Amino acid sequence: MALSFPTAPTSGQQTTTGGRTYEWNGQAWELVGAGIAGATGPTGPASTVTGPTGDAGGAGATGPTGDGATNAVTTPAVLEAAATVTGYDPGAGDIYRLAVTGTTGVNVQGLGITGEAGTAKLLINVGATAPITLNHATGPNANAHFAVPWEGDYVMSQNGGAALVVYDTTDEVWRVV
């Protein structure tokens, strides 16, 4: 069977003849696609190289049940603007949501509650208008005041400022951590 090609091809032009497609590269016709496939060769020897480690597996088993302690979240407690609160008692729970009325901040000089050694409370300023300041003080008192590491006041800004406090039974204070 004779192959028939155009006499004046342009570069990139394709033509099919003899059941195969050819493309003119500007100087010659080149076969497009696969040529005639030969037989499959023999399988090579097995590798002794270890491949990379795969992805991590799924989640593990559920852990043990806790000690029954509550982590109740309080509804926002409203503090009066421009006030100083001594011995603030936020009520039951471990997470306290606080807010200030007005645009002037509030000073809190201690929690009116105590706890066991290591008891933790999270105080969050959820108000949008003013900061809440935890006043640093030293020495034990009935109002379980705050001990701040840098011995200055701790300011919780509006819109999410927070403080984690842990009760220290030795010094009878809530330590800001």
**Is residue 98 domain-resident?**
yes
**Is residue 125 domain-resident?**
yes
**Is residue 103 domain-resident?**
yes
**Is residue 138 domain-resident?**
yes
- The total of structural domains in the chain comes to 1
- Residue-wise pLDDT tens for the chain (177 aa)? 677 888 889 999 999 888 888 899 988 888 887 656 668 888 888 888 887 888 887 887 876 665 555 556 666 677 776 678 877 777 777 888 888 887 888 888 888 787 788 888 888 888 888 898 888 876 555 556 888 988 888 999 988 899 999 988 888 888 999
**Is residue 17 domain-resident?**
no
Distance, CA of 67 to CA of 59 (rounded, Å): 23
Strand pairing class (29-31; 84-85): unpaired
pLDDT of residue 69: 52
**Nearest-5° angle of CA 93, CA 75, CA 152?**
70
**Is residue 33 domain-resident?**
no
Distance, CA of 116 to CA of 34 (rounded, Å): 80
pLDDT of residue 128: 84
**Is residue 40 domain-resident?**
no
pLDDT of residue 144: 65
**Is residue 85 domain-resident?**
yes
What is the domain range of residue 123?
77-176
Buried b (16+ CB within 10 A) or exposed e, 78-103: ebeeeeebeebebeeeebbbbbbeee
